[in-house]
Amino acid sequence: MRTVSMVLAALAAGLGQAQFLINELSFGIDSKLSHDESPGTIPHYHVNGQPNRPDVLSNKVILTPMGLGNQRASIWGERTLQRDDWVADIDVRANGPERASGNLNIWLAKDGRAAVQENSVYTVGRFEGLVLVIDQYGGSGGMLRGFLNDGTKDFARQTNLDSLAFGHCQISYRNHGRPSQIKVHHSGGNFKVEFDGRKCFESSKIAIPQGYTFGITAATPENPDSFEIFKLVVMSETVDPRHAQNQQQQGGNNNQNSNQQAEPGGFDNPEDAFRKAIPDESAEVFQTSTRQFADLHNRLQSTYHQLAAVYRSVTAHHAVDEQRHREVQDMVSNIRADLKRLDKVDSLQRTVESLQRDVASLRDALDRRISSHENTFRGALTDHHRLLSERMMDSIPGHGKLIFILVGTQVVLAGVYIVYKRRKMASPKKYL
């Protein structure tokens, strides 16, 4: 059932708006990025780095490792893009500690490997083409910006490089644990950049000519981020015009009677294969066995070309479908991990609620204990004051004693005074 549905989808795409995979500009489509015949390399791409070469694994390229700072790395294609309408799909992941930084640059430039090399947008000189930059510009936490250059501007000498950006948007790209998807559309004079399915910026005034090369560079400071590339898939709604022209010339030379004789799988576009189907004719035309055999041969060959075109379209859509299936699996895994985190949050909330109840009960017990101690202390202090008052009352003499003491004191003083006067009167007077 799945094969039948894929065939029907491929036929519908062939009759409608089909997307054709450009193999020589893409990597990361199948299960292995680097083949066993040449490990550490990517077909149709050059991988370089300073001071260390990037690690090319089976499913990703580690442009800049997390532990080593001051790294520069690049991936540049060998073939140029010969399309006016195309879509580029890049999966990238960035991980690093809290204060780490770095930048990732996606290029579509003329002679990019020679003109740009391992430079970033901040260190490159003059180049011709497009560059999309992902970094933490201005402390924003994440920014995706687009720059164009016709070869007249030296970016390394610009004092205000941000003024040259034709589009930008804030993004969150670090420490997600999953690849982030960057999709670039160029079709019908319209240019659009999407990040994780959300439109970042769009312009109808940008037209990138043919003959440019795709490339990815990364640069990190002393405290680095780790940039990993999982895939770069380039698709188009049209076939290579040079290839189509060669097929037409080959078909015209082999058969002058409008029955095109091509090599197996000669049609890249299913529409071309179906449009060149042989028209029906009356049986009276085929009077000889030679005419009958020629008609049968031509019809079988046309059928074979149609099946080959459908097979290539199904294969391309199957690769994209497998990639999307893996992406959905990753999203489901992330959702499950988030749900597990939510379970932990619920458990933490229950623990906090239990702690709140314990604190409330402890507060009530403490209030009761303090109130009890206050009552006890107040009673003890009242008893102490009462006893002290009683003792003071007992120690104070009565009124009779006070009167006796006062009168006695006065009598004694009066007696002393009288004795003093008598002695003074009785003493002889002295005259000078």
pLDDT tens over the chain, length 432 residues: 343 344 334 434 443 445 788 989 999 887 677 776 777 889 899 999 999 999 999 889 999 998 888 999 999 999 999 999 999 999 999 999 988 999 999 999 999 999 999 999 999 999 999 999 999 988 778 999 999 999 999 999 998 998 999 999 999 999 999 999 999 999 888 999 999 999 999 999 999 999 999 999 999 999 999 999 999 999 987 765 554 444 445 444 444 443 433 333 344 455 555 555 566 666 666 666 677 777 777 778 778 777 888 888 888 888 888 888 888 888 888 888 888 877 778 788 888 999 999 999 999 999 999 998 888 998 888 888 888 888 877 766 667 777 888 888 888 888 888 888 888 777 766 555
Size of the chain in residues: 432
- Give the distance from CA 81 to its chain's centroid: 28
Q: Which residues pair with 106 in a beta bridge?
A: 132, 216
Question: Both 101 and 182 in a single domain?
Answer: yes
Nearest to 207 by CA among 185, 236, 225: 185
Task: Compute the distance between CA of residue 390 and CA of residue 321 in angstroms, rounded to an integer.
Answer: 102
Which residues, 6 or more positions from 78, have their beta carbon under 8 angstroms from its beta carbon?
24, 44, 45, 46
Q: Could you tell me which residues are beta bridge partners of residue 104? A: 134, 218
Domain C-terminal end among 298, 326, 341: 341
Residues paired with residue 227 on neighbouring β-strands, in sequence order: 64, 94
Question: What residue ranges in 26-141 does DSSP mark as E strands?
Answer: 45-50, 55-56, 61-64, 72-77, 86-95, 103-109, 128-135
pLDDT at 36: 67
Classified as helix, coil or strand, 78 is coil
Do 26 and 111 lie in one domain? The reply is yes
233 and 91 co-located in one domain: yes
Number of domains in the chain: 3
Largest CA distance in the chain: 199
Full-model pTM: 0.56
113 and 65 in one domain?
A: yes
Q: Are residues 211 and 336 in the same domain?
A: no
Q: Could you tell me the residue range of the domain that residue 56 belongs to? A: 20-238
Residues 6+ apart with CB under 8 A from 27: 33, 42, 43, 44, 45, 231, 232
pLDDT at 404: 83
In a domain, 200, yes or no: yes
CB 27 within 8 A of CB 334: no
Q: Are 234 and 24 in contact (CB under 8 A)?
A: no
Same domain (yes/no): 137, 227: yes
Same-domain status, 305 and 412: no
Same-domain status, 213 and 277: no
Phi, psi of 192 (to 5 degrees): -140, 140
Q: What's the DSSP call for residue 278?
A: P
Q: Which residues have CB under 8 Å from 125's CB, separation 6+?
A: 119, 154, 155, 156
Q: Are 264 and 308 in contact (CB under 8 A)?
A: yes
At 45, give phi and psi (nearest 5°).
Answer: -135, 150
DSSP 8-state secondary structure symbol assigned to residue 224 = B
Contacts of 278 (CB under 8 A, 6+ apart): 259, 295, 298, 299, 302
Six-digit token string for 192: 């659009």
Co-location of 230 and 278 in the same domain: no
My answer on whether 224 and 295 are in the same domain is: no
Q: Exposure string (b/e) for 169-188, b if CB count within 10 Å is 16 or more?
A: bebebbeeeebbbbbbbbee
The answer as to whether 330 is a domain residue is yes
Q: What is the CATH number of the domain that holds 151?
A: 2.60.120.200
Angstrom distance (rounded) from CA 93 to CA 59:
13
**Residues forming beta bridges with residue 175, ordered by sequence position:** none
CA pair distance 172, 194, nearest whole angstrom = 13
Per DSSP, the three-state class of 209 is coil
| 136 and 229 fall within a common domain | yes
Query: What is the 3-state composition of the chain as percent helix, strand, coil, each rounded to the nearest 5?
Result: 45, 25, 30
Whether 284 and 412 share a structural domain: no
Distance CA 233, CA 431 (A): 147
